[in-house]
Structure 1
């Protein structure tokens, strides 16, 4: 016979934000005592309703680096203005050697952007947008440039 006095697990709370790991790198710091390895995690979070953010976290183990990145991402949240299910106007932004060009797209077109920009628009909940990465395709610089472009958007 089965025991009937088992403990019920409390219901799992719904997460406010979805998160995606964009980049995970093992980085090395060279000191007098030798090489010190650590991990750098880059995460994009969003609620698919117009709010999105990203963060970078470093730690000696992967899970701590990811949680640090998620914590930082919540601090950098910004809202994306939408007009007819797309962005209101064309915008060009640059960070380092990474340049991004983001254009509005007609309804039904979908997310036509590549690399790290695609994750940002998916998690922001922008259904139709077109974009192009110009210059360097470094994921972190592209994320910074994309967020600079999103800050330039006005309704």
Structure 2
């Protein structure tokens, strides 16, 4: 049958119109996004709407020394099991919609100044718990593609430092925001610069460095 020969992922693509010429040309980008549902959640092997009990599958094979025969649940019990499955799916959908409140940045809801988790551990198990990671800028970038049309990606600039003279920054680019931030912080930890500090507190003098369109200024500060 058709529903057995294709996977659930392919069926959902057809139901949500994720394939076809319209998607490749970039049409219908601003429509309300439909979410997939995991219809296998809460479903047990052998359980169905008919409520049959299959020995060795969803019922004991041997009971009181005798091999059990195929039986059927009562109507009330079948309705109760189906309602529990639907309730479990609804609970899972509500959990997906809950948004975790992040710490505020420099102003409003912008990502600038938001503190991120430390970078991922290195290949030899190195951890970077003593480094602080902050978002400098997050931008939406669009480019025209011959196959997909107007394609959107996220570009993130992240700075990292340990407060002891080691600091670095890098840029990450990905299809979604969290992946772009993760790429940027993992790249920044590999591009560290060591700056000598005066009395382990500040720089020796004011520094201004310019590279192409980027200008970095470091200003000497008193304690306090």
Using the TM superposition, name which of 94-103 and 83-92 deviates more: 94-103
Aligned counterparts of 2:214 and 2:128: Cα–Cα separation in 1: 35
Residue in 2 aligned with 1:67? Answer: 182
Runs of 4+ in 1 over 4 A off after TM superposition: 97-101
Residues 44-55 of structure 1 mapped to structure 2, 5 A cutoff: 44-55=159-170
> Quick check: 2:164–2:197 contact (8 Å CA) kept in 1?
no
- Out of 188, 193, 198, the residue aligned to residue 78 of structure 1 is 193
- Out of 153, 164, 188, the residue aligned to residue 38 of structure 1 is 153
TM-score, normalised to structure 1's length?
0.54
Residue in 2 aligned with 1:6? Answer: none
Residue in 2 aligned with 1:151? Answer: none
Unaligned 5+ segments in structure 1 are 1-12, 109-155
Aligned counterparts of 1:20 and 1:95: Cα–Cα separation in 2: 21
**Distance of aligned partners of 1:55 and 1:88 in 2 relative to their CA distance in 1, 3 Å threshold:** same
Please tell me whether Structure 1 or Structure 2 has the larger radius of gyration of its CA atoms. Answer: 2
Residue in 2 aligned with 1:105? Answer: 221
Length, aligned pairs only: 96
**Distance of aligned partners of 1:94 and 1:68 in 2 relative to their CA distance in 1, 3 Å threshold:** same
SS of corresponding position for 2:180: helix
The CA RMSD measured in Å over matched residues stands at 2.2
Aligned counterparts of 2:191 and 2:128: Cα–Cα separation in 1: 21
- Out of 128, 133, 138, the residue aligned to residue 19 of structure 1 is 133
TM-score, normalised to structure 2's length?
0.38
Give the drift of 1:66: 0.8
SS of corresponding position for 1:19: strand
Pick the structure with more strand per residue.
1
Residue in 2 aligned with 1:139? Answer: none
Unaligned 5+ segments in structure 2 are 1-126
Give the drift of 1:79: 1.7
Aligned counterparts of 1:78 and 1:47: Cα–Cα separation in 2: 11
